[in-house]
Amino acid sequence: MTTLPLEEILKQAKSAIESTVDLKSLEDCRVRYLGKKALLSEHLKTLGQLPVEKRPVVGQQINEMKQTIQHLIEKQADVLTQKKITAELAKESIDITLPGRSLNSGSIHPITHTCNTLRDIFTQMGFIFMEGPEIEDDNHNFTALNIPPFHPARAMQDTFYFPNGTLLRTQTSTVQIRAMKTMPLPLRMVAMGRVYRRDFDLTHTPMFHQLECLMIDETVSFANLKGVLTQFLQAFFTLKTAIRFRPSYFPFTEPSAEVDISCLNCEGKGCRICKQSGWLEILGCGMVHPNVLKGAHIDTKRYRGFAFGVGIDRLTLLKYGMSDLRTLFENDLRFLQQF
Ligand SMILES: [Zn+2]
């Protein structure tokens, strides 16, 4: 039986092992050269036919060759394993050129945003901010504001009453009464907060927000009122905003006026939003009625004051060009996230 010379087998094995491309083909190589049916095993079978003195020498040669091949296989296995790891890492590597995933962060509610702006404007003009309870008594909400028991503003359809006679305040003017009773004069104060009325349509919600402004001093006049209003409205909207007064009636002010601003959409030329008038109603104001001052034990011969109240929600609608007040309170995140 003829067999390949040992040197030739080693040469072939070396070349085959080094040319393997993965661990599977390397295993095939191992079986071919070191397995039971391998070429080396054929050599072992011929050992018996050799002269006795040659057998140990050839046997040793075969064993050494087996070890050499085993060593070559282990070396190649290391190389292939490293290659595999490198390939996998390359495949799984982080692509730093991809755009980052942004965090789903919240946004400030438009009403809160308006309140923050108003707080800045009035603080700069020297007004202090005060708060009062939302559950009020009849006196602070009506009587002290010169609203007698027969006044239509007291009608059941407007006010939420509790069985014990208290009510949900219908205006932030209640804070103005508390301020006049407790704060030293002269006084410049602003109150912002929630108020409640039994109303629900496109421009009314049962809960809404009001800002109340009060200034009391010895020389306060309608001119001061006009100055503060102009500065406030131009700071809140734009410097181009013009204001006009229309005579009006409120029980707690005398004289009273309603204030319009030039239409923010057409700047006074006339459009659908201002119903072609060029003006938008914005707030009510006036000089504090002497009866209100007297009720707070203020000397009406010495002190005078002005007051105005404005809907924070209406300011927000106008500023952002919205038409439906209810969208502010429906808490639809798709709507609110625009701001
Ligand atoms: Zn207009």
Cα(189)–Cα(307) distance, integer angstroms: 10
- Which range, 8-22, 87-101, 244-258, has the best average confidence (pLDDT)? 244-258
Which segment of 80-94, 181-195, 282-296 scores lowest on mean pLDDT? 80-94
CATH class of the 110-336 domain in this structure? alpha beta
* Closest by CA position to 224, among listed 89, 337, 125: 125
Burial 289-308 (b: 16+ CB within 10 A, else e): beebbebbebeeeebbbbbb
Q: What is the pLDDT of residues 89-102, one digit of tens each?
A: 888 877 788 888 88
pLDDT of residue 1: 42
pLDDT of residue 333: 82
- Which range, 4-8, 188-192, 292-296, has the best average confidence (pLDDT)? 188-192
pLDDT of residue 12: 87
Measured in Å, residue 240 CA sits from the centre of ligand 1 at: 14
Cα(308)–Cα(151) distance, integer angstroms: 20
Measured in Å, residue 317 CA sits from the centre of ligand 1 at: 15
Q: What is the pLDDT of residues 221-250, one digit of tens each?
A: 999 999 999 999 999 998 889 999 999 998
Average pLDDT, integer, range 29-37 = 82
Which sign does the torsion angle of CA 230, 232, 237, 238 carry? positive
Measured in Å, residue 241 CA sits from the centre of ligand 1 at: 12
Average pLDDT, integer, range 157-166 = 87
Strand ranges (DSSP E) for 1-110?
none
Structure tokens at 298: 């203020």
For residues 253 and 212, the answer to whether their CB atoms sit within 8 Å is no
Residues in the chain: 339
For residues 176 and 212, the answer to whether their CB atoms sit within 8 Å is yes
Q: What is the pLDDT of residues 37-92, one digit of tens each?
A: 777 777 777 777 888 888 888 888 888 888 888 999 999 999 999 998 988 888 88
Give me the chain's average pLDDT, please.
Answer: 89
pLDDT of residue 61: 84
Domain map of the chain by residue range? 6-92, 110-336
Measured in Å, residue 280 CA sits from the centre of ligand 1 at: 8
Nearby residues for ligand 1 (ion, Cβ within 5 Å): 263, 265-266, 271, 273-274
pTM of structure: 0.67
Question: In a 3-state reduction of DSSP, which class is residue 305?
Answer: strand
Label residue 151 by pLDDT band (50, 70, 90). confident
Measured in Å, residue 322 CA sits from the centre of ligand 1 at: 14
Cα(233)–Cα(44) distance, integer angstroms: 107
For residues 157 and 201, the answer to whether their CB atoms sit within 8 Å is no
* Closest by CA position to 247, among listed 239, 257, 238, 237: 257
